Every structure is written in structure tokens, then in C-alpha cells.
Chain A
Amino acid sequence: MKTKCSKYTSEEISRFVDNELFEDQYKTLAQHIEQCPHCSELSNQYKTLSTVFNNHVHEKENLKIDKALLEQKFDRVMQNHEKIPWGNIFGFSKKYILVKLTSIAMISLISLFILQKALFTPTGPSAIVKYVDTDYSSVMIIETQKEQHTIIWFNET
């Protein structure tokens, strides 16, 4: 079992592997690694990791990006964003849009017509006179033709 080394930290060994130490520090640590199995193993681990990472970076660098194609795609996306998708507002598709809009308009008109008939057309006279009691003999009940407005006329003599 390898005993842990307290002389150098893992960070210092990582910097050694990445060649980020000053020359004298590098030499001292290199000598220590030759003698210390713990630091040597840690150094090997970092080197392996560094190799894997570098290989991956090189693979990516080998991928060629067609800038012209990329720009073309970008332009196309931008153009699509500028166009207002009228056809898809409220889930409408452009197909048969006129027929659909006409149908909605017709439904609305019929609804309005029915509502107007049901709510606004007077039914019968404005008032139904159930009884009249007066000390005077002459009483007239009149209903106008236009609005069926009820008028009660009594002679107060």
C-alpha cells in the first residue's frame, strides 16, 4: 500500500504535468516523483487524463465547418422569424382559411340575430292592465302601434 505524500499537493503535481511550474520547481518535483510512489502514481493519472483530453480536442479540431452553409442556414432562420405566421394564428392552417372565417362569421351573425329576436323584440304590450278602479266613468286603455306602448286615460271630472 502506497503511503500518502504530504510534501506536494495534488494541485502542484497537476501543474507539473501541465508544465506550468518554474524550471527549478519543475526539476525538484521531477526528482521527488522518481522517488515517491504516491506522487508518481498521481502524476501518471494526471498525464493519462491530459492525454485523453488532448486527443478529444484534436478530434474536434479535425471537424471542418462549412461557414457558407452555416450563414445560409442562419439567414433562412432569420427570414422565417420575420414572416408573421398569419396562417397559424389561433391554430388556423392556410388551407380553406376563407371557408373557415366565413363559417365563423355566419355563426356569429346567426347568434346575433337569434339573440336580438329573443331579447330585444317586444312581446305584447308594454303593460297588461289587470284591472282599473276609479270613481270616474270614462277610462280608455290604448296601445300604440309602433312600440305597443300602453296608455291608460281617465277623465277626472
Chain B
Amino acid sequence: MGKFIKICLSGCLIFALCFVSVPAFGKGQVMTRVKVIHASTGQNYLDPGLRDIISELETVFKYTSYKLLKEKNLNQSFNRQSRVNLPGKRTLVIMPLDTNDNRIRYQINILKNKNSVFQTRILLRNNSSITIGGPKFNNGYLLFNIAGAVQ
């Protein structure tokens, strides 16, 4: 039975190692990915680049066409602003502030003609995303899918 106990202990060790190997939620860099989407009721089209979020958007919106206009990956430091140019003389200003309970605190501003038209502060779950939408563009609407992950 001594060997059996050893085996059980080995199992527990592997289990413990699994927990240890889970990366700590530290305060390094933040990888932010911004997807600019054009949603409309035009001809049916689902952009292959939006496969991961389309199913979620379709549960809320009744648009028939989702086109990925732009995708930008930002390797950000905390409290450092990044800007993404958006269609229609708009600019997205995004800044990770800190982390809290497996979430990243972001300050997000949308400017139009250099004037702030929308601003929000969110706690985004690590390795998750939020969609901000509303601005009209080309017989449809613009959606901004923002995903964040602590490096």
C-alpha cells in the first residue's frame, strides 16, 4: 500500500503543479485588440475575421452584414494612451489603467472631429472583449470590438 500512497501523492503533486503553472495575473503589458466592424442590413455577409464574436452580436442585433473594416493590435503599458483612427473622422483613444480581480480597467474615449463624443470606464475581464457601437456610417453602423489580455 506504500506504493499506492506514493502514487496518490504524485497525483496530488501533478494537480498542484497545474495550479502553480497557471500564470499569475501580473501588472506587465496589456495586449489590446481593436476590431472596427461595419454592420448593416445589406446583402448577407459575415466576415471570417469576426467568427468568434458574430454569434454573440447576432443574439442582439438584426443586421445581415458584418464587415471587418480594420483590426489593430496594441501592445500597451498601463496609463499610456493609444489611438486608433476610425472611419468618419473619428478616433478611438484607449488606455489601460490597472488590473483588479482578473479584470483590466480601461478608459475609452471616442472623438469626432477632435471633440469627445463618448467616454467610458470599464472593467474588462482578462482575455475577454466588449463591443461599443452606435455611430452611423455608410448606411449602417460602426461597432468597435475591444479585447484585452494582460501579458
| Chain A residues packing against B (C-beta within 8 Å) | 91-93, 96, 100, 103-104, 107-108, 111, 115, 119, 122-136, 142, 144-147, 149-156
Contacts and interface: CB of A to CB of B under 8 A. Distances in A.
Contacts, number: 116
B128 to A, nearest CB: 4
Size range of the interface on B? 35 or more
A133 B19 CA distance: 40
A131 B56 contact: no
B123 interface: yes
A134 B55 contact: no
B111 to A, nearest CB: 12
Contacts of B60: 142, 144, 151
A91 B9 CA distance: 14
Interface string B56-76: 110110000000000000000
Interface in B103-145: 103, 105, 112, 117-125, 128-136
Nearest to A154: B134
A70 B106 CA distance: 82
B117 A152 contact: no
A37 B125 CA distance: 106
A30 B66 CA distance: 119
B6 to A, nearest CB: 7
A33 B53 CA distance: 112
Contacts of A93: 3
Contact of B130 (A103, A126, A155): A126
B122 A128 contact: yes
Nearest to B121: A130
Nearest to B104: A127
B46 interface: no
A108 to B, nearest CB: 7
Contacts of B128: 122, 126-127, 149
Given A115-B18, A156-B135, A134 B119 contact: yes
Contacts of B133: 151-154
14 contacts: A92-B3, A96-B4, A100-B4, A103-B11, A107-B11, A126-B125, A128-B122, A149-B56, A149-B130, A152-B120, A152-B131, A153-B133, A154-B132, A156-B112
A104 B11 CA distance: 7
Interface string B9-49: 00110110011001000000000000000000000000000
Given A132-B119, A151-B60, 4 more contacts: A111-B14, A123-B125, A130-B121, A145-B59
A144 B134 CA distance: 17
B59 A152 contact: no
Contacts of A149: 53, 56, 128-131
A73 to B, nearest CB: 30
